[in-house]
A = this chain, B = another copy of it.
């Protein structure tokens, strides 16, 4: 199966993109809702959680694992690749590559959680591809709780998005990376506030394309993945509210299975 984990339910945007890009492939999702969010926590704590989550997915049949969380991708990828031998996919590199390829003036903005932005990883990845690129970042820590509350399309959310984007607008970016798996749910408002000329990069779509490309090039890994169209969703805590969010992100009714890590 394709394993996918996130700090909570934002990573379902990645699950949704993978299910659309690789229809029929079985997936197993884990959302760490008992310890969510990761974006304001330390590198050490997020890495510890990421290792536990990867173990859990492998025990439940994952042959490849997608880190569907920018915060965990930013601070834990090195530790995970040092510890596990299965193919691991993070959400940073595909979005960084895509941003460089679509950017016309290589003035690239990145928004994300505090953990992601403080790690400086997007800048590092983008400059590895194009050392002349200008990269401007802004931490937007309130957008995750706003999405998790379902405050989409509300005036308060729009004001907060506008405030966060002011420094990036001032830098005249031509491309903006949504560096958090929650943000695709706010994409329309973000596009409106940053301006319609700016290309907005959705990392969930970029990582799904990346997984597909890898499987095309690695038929033996591809053959190891089951394809019965099954999708299992596990969470470390469950409430009615979490179920509502999950259904709204995936636009279908799913059942969340509660497990203790």
Contact = CB atoms under 8 A, between A and B. Distances in A.
B156 A146 contact: no
Contact of A41 (B149, B156, B239): B239
Nearest to A114: B241
A160 B156 contact: yes
Contacts of A146: 142
A160 B149 CA distance: 12
Contacts of A35: 34-35
A205 B129 CA distance: 56
Given A156-B163, A160-B156, A163-B156, A239 B142 contact: no
Interface residues of A, number: 26
Contact of A237 (B45, B149, B237, B239): B45
A61 interface: no
Please state the number of chain copies in the assembly. 2
A20 interface: no
Nearest to A44: B237
Contacts of A34: 35, 41, 45
Interface string A38-61: 001110110000000000000000
Contacts of A239: 40-42, 114
A116 interface: no
A34 to B, nearest CB: 5
Contacts of A149: 141-142
Contacts of A33: 41
A214 interface: no
Nearest to A115: B239
Interface string A226-237: 000000000011
A151 interface: yes
Interface in A120-151: 141-142, 145-146, 148-149, 151
A1 B191 CA distance: 54
Given A34-B35, A41-B237, A156-B159, 9 more contacts: A34-B41, A35-B35, A40-B148, A42-B237, A44-B237, A114-B239, A114-B241, A142-B142, A145-B145
22 contacts: A33-B41, A34-B35, A34-B45, A35-B35, A40-B239, A40-B241, A41-B237, A42-B238, A42-B239, A44-B237, A45-B236, A45-B237, A114-B239, A114-B241, A141-B145, A141-B149, A142-B142, A142-B145, A142-B146, A142-B149, A156-B160, A156-B163
